[in-house]
A and B are shown apart, each in its own frame.
Chain A
């Protein structure tokens, strides 16, 4: 069975391996080579999973667990290279990318979401079960969802408001402690704060008499 490592490595505590395949190295390979390499890596990954599982069962240390990550990275790189080639081919032949189309939809909580389109055996309007929550008295128009969405928006707004106030207060404190500091840099650091307004406030005044 090819699911096990070579017998030499069974009692090894440190197995040295090379690095993973890089994108540029894979780009110059032919499709046939990539196909073969994919299966080599797939077998290697299965082997590593098997050995790791057995090590965990027997409460042993699995030597060099980063091997799994290296193989996985190589496999991901192969996939991106193949995808690049596929997109190039489809653009040349059909003018489209050939990727799965993505649509912006509202999910059942009323939040915007990316949806990867897929094939169905009946169209949407015929699918009575799917269409139910989107009807006039469906779930998506219910009070619960509206309330959730309102509170969610409020929470988001509060975060922005708090950040604004926090920055304004911080600028006031800075002006109090360092009245002669570089205003342009302060403006660059806090672009949303009205510095002239912050200067005029009571908090920005220090506990000292004005110089002039």
Chain B
């Protein structure tokens, strides 16, 4: 059973789960109430049918797994917002992109500098 980012957009007191195909609504309700102590007003489920697609490179048809989605309705006063898990990593990404841009720029400068003397080795310079 896993908690997933709600799609399509849900009300603030609705939480979306992917769970095992065998679980019924009662199973889901008991599971979350007993193991996770989450108060539950209502449970709705639907089964998302996996896509039929051609296998990349092989060409035969494969079917993706079906998924049982559970929409848990919390009491009115409770809200749930799916957290942004990768906020800390975004800064690192920006920094790495910056250093990559710098490397690209320095390489372009080097190409520009040696445009007129393509037969001279790179170490032969001041």
B97 touches A (CB below 8 Å): no
B85 adjacent to A46 (CB under 8 Å): no
Known contacts A2-B36, A46-B1, A53-B4; is A60 also within 8 Å of B89 by CB?
yes
A11 adjacent to B18 (CB under 8 Å): no
**Which of B2, B35, B86 contacts A58, CB < 8 Å?**
B86
Q: Which residues of A contact B3 (CB under 8 A)?
A: 1, 3-4, 46, 50
Q: Which residues of B contact A13 (CB under 8 A)?
A: 89
B72 vs chain A, min Cβ distance (A): 11
Q: Which residues of A contact B35 (CB under 8 A)?
A: 39, 42-43
B8 vs chain A, min Cβ distance (A): 14
B19 vs chain A, min Cβ distance (A): 10
**Which of A2, A11, A39, A53 contacts B2, CB < 8 Å?**
A53
A10 adjacent to B2 (CB under 8 Å): no
B86 adjacent to A60 (CB under 8 Å): yes
A60–B4 CA distance with the chains assembled, in angstroms? 15
A21 touches B (CB below 8 Å): no
A46 adjacent to B5 (CB under 8 Å): no
Q: Which residues of A contact B2 (CB under 8 A)?
A: 3, 46, 49-50, 53
Q: Which residues of B contact A3 (CB under 8 A)?
A: 2-3, 36
A87 touches B (CB below 8 Å): no
A11–B93 CA distance with the chains assembled, in angstroms? 11
A51 touches B (CB below 8 Å): yes
When C-beta atoms are compared, the residue in chain A nearest to B4 turns out to be A53
A154 touches B (CB below 8 Å): no
Q: Which residues of B contact A57 (CB under 8 A)?
A: 4-5
B80 adjacent to A1 (CB under 8 Å): yes
A118 vs chain B, min Cβ distance (A): 15
A54 adjacent to B5 (CB under 8 Å): yes
Q: Which residues of B contact A10 (CB under 8 A)?
A: 85-88
Q: Can you report 15 A-B residue pairs in the complex whose CB atoms are below 8 A from each other?
A: A1-B36, A1-B80, A3-B2, A3-B36, A4-B83, A4-B85, A10-B85, A10-B86, A10-B88, A11-B92, A46-B2, A50-B4, A53-B4, A53-B18, A58-B85
